[in-house]
Amino acid sequence: MTTSGQSIRQSPVIAQAIDAIVAEIDAKTASITDVRPPTEALRADYDALVKAAGDTRGWPLLYPMLGSGAGRGALVELADGSVKWDLVAGIGVHFLGHSHPEMLRAQLRSSLEDTTKHGNLQSGTLPYAFAKRFVELAGRSSRLKYAYLTTSGAMANECAMRVCMQKRNADRVLAFEHCFMGRSLTMTSIGDNAAARDGLPVNTAVDYIPFWNAALAERMGGQTKFIDWTLQQLATAVGRYPGRHACFVMELIQGEGGFNVPPKAFLEELMKACKGYGIPVWDDEIQTFGRTEQMFAFEHFGLGEYVDVFCVGKMTHACAALWTEEMKPRPGLLSGTFIGSTVDFEVGMTVLDVLEKGNCYGPEGIFAQHHAAFRAQAEALVAKHPEWFPKVELAPELIGGVGGMMRLTPFGGAKDKIAAAGKALFDEGAIMFWCGHGPYHLRLLPPMPAMRVDEWPRIFEVIERGLARVA
């Protein structure tokens, strides 16, 4: 006996229709094989669309970019007919690239449901299938046990903070310098970025702890000296406000702050100290999840045992806060009208399938191969044009990151030059953003499952042309 909903999803007629649609899209995108300029006949209409988009929101788009709705792998087609390498993947939403067959299937399956949005109080089965799957994956190497689904990374962070505050009955937060937490009022209060809270009130008290800095550690006499100094900063903050800290929120690898990768010992000693103080460790993996050489950053560092609360978003489309048995909140703390769209959960399950079964992880996995290829091409570019890459005192590594989080630091990390480089690269055919708070870096978050390793030389031809325009 099956329900009507099950019979729809199991219908061979619908399955054949989905196959036909995916095949047709594959045929229509087969010509997208490389970077190409705009189509002249579309240019005027496209410029008008870009202007209208900026006028609608009140300021121009960062890049004059409006997608056509199609692409192929790491190549995206814009509505002016141009094609560019998408090396930032919408900070995660295009992680499987463009017009990926399994993503298309997931999106089409989502249209079979009788609702677009799932509610916190009224929901179908799919959201909880996603939540169960995610908790099982996270629980392989941590104590995380429960998940609350929500509509954005910022809201996942809000939920995590409420869980911590209720558990500790405390009102302060410990966070790393240069952290990024999201765009809600509370998250901009915690994030260490003055521009993001320009004109806004600060509604949460935060004590900032230094993040790992290899150059500073070297000047201080090594890793151990830097860690001891950081632990002293933590002790000072805790001693100044005893019992008042709800949690220490940690990006294990900083994203917007500059793709900063610490040694395991730095994170582990801080986590151990938090346990000693009774302060929960909140692991924010909204940008890092899935991109290191393991699925979770806490797996990458082997630190899952210390994690009390965890957040995910971006790449997974469906967003969630997770916590351990000890952190379980009282009923009523977390609620809301929506927990996400049907398509979020269908796509999210597809992303988890690819990550789990696609030979992505480990020292020989696809992500490690991509990172090695990126570094090899970047090193060759630095050697070819050393004048573009002067040494930066606070960022001795001109090429940085881990896995799918990649950074490159030309022009001394000067903000105006990096921003100009981003726009020149866009014009040449590669979409990249930037990160850091001084020095600034070019940032890549490429859709690695949709790329071939042998595409990196072609990508760096475009990068070289773009940097040459700025140099």
pLDDT at 59: 94
Confidence of residue 438 (pLDDT cuts 50, 70, 90): confident
| Tokens of residue 438, six digits | 């001084």
Q: Is the peptide bond before 449 cis (omega within 30 degrees of 0)?
A: no
User: pLDDT digits over 354-381, tens only?
Assistant: 999 999 999 999 999 999 999 999 999 9
Query: Does the structure show a pLDDT above 90 at 29?
Result: yes
User: pLDDT digits over 228-270, tens only?
Assistant: 999 999 999 999 999 999 999 999 999 999 999 999 999 999 9
pLDDT at 370: 98
Q: What is the pTM of this model?
A: 0.95
Q: In whole angstroms, what is the distance from residue 160 CA to residue 405 CA?
A: 24
Neighbour-count burial for 198-207, b at 16+ CB within 10 Å, e otherwise: eeeeeebebb
Q: List strand residue ranges (DSSP E) for 180-325, in order.
A: 205-209, 245-250, 281-284, 309-312, 319-324
Q: In whole angstroms, what is the distance from residue 126 CA to residue 305 CA?
A: 29
User: pLDDT digits over 60-109, tens only?
Assistant: 999 999 999 999 999 999 999 999 999 999 999 999 999 999 999 999 99
pLDDT at 393: 81
Give residue 226's identity as a one-letter amino acid code.
Answer: F
Q: Rounded mean pLDDT of 322-345?
A: 95
pLDDT at 341: 96
Please enumerate in sequence order all residues whose Cβ is within 8 A of that of 302, keeping only pairs 6 or more positions apart, or say none. Answer: 141, 264
Q: Which of 81-85, 132-136, 191-195 has the lowest mean pLDDT?
A: 191-195
**Where do the domains of the chain lie, and which CATH numbers do they carry?**
31-99+361-470 (3.90.1150.10), 117-357 (3.40.640.10)
Mean pLDDT value across the chain: 96
Query: Does the structure show a pLDDT above 80 at 394?
Result: no
pLDDT at 1: 81
pLDDT at 415: 95
Q: In whole angstroms, what is the distance from residue 173 CA to residue 187 CA?
A: 11
Q: Rounded mean pLDDT of 279-307?
A: 97
pLDDT at 238: 98
pLDDT at 404: 96
Confidence of residue 141 (pLDDT cuts 50, 70, 90): very high
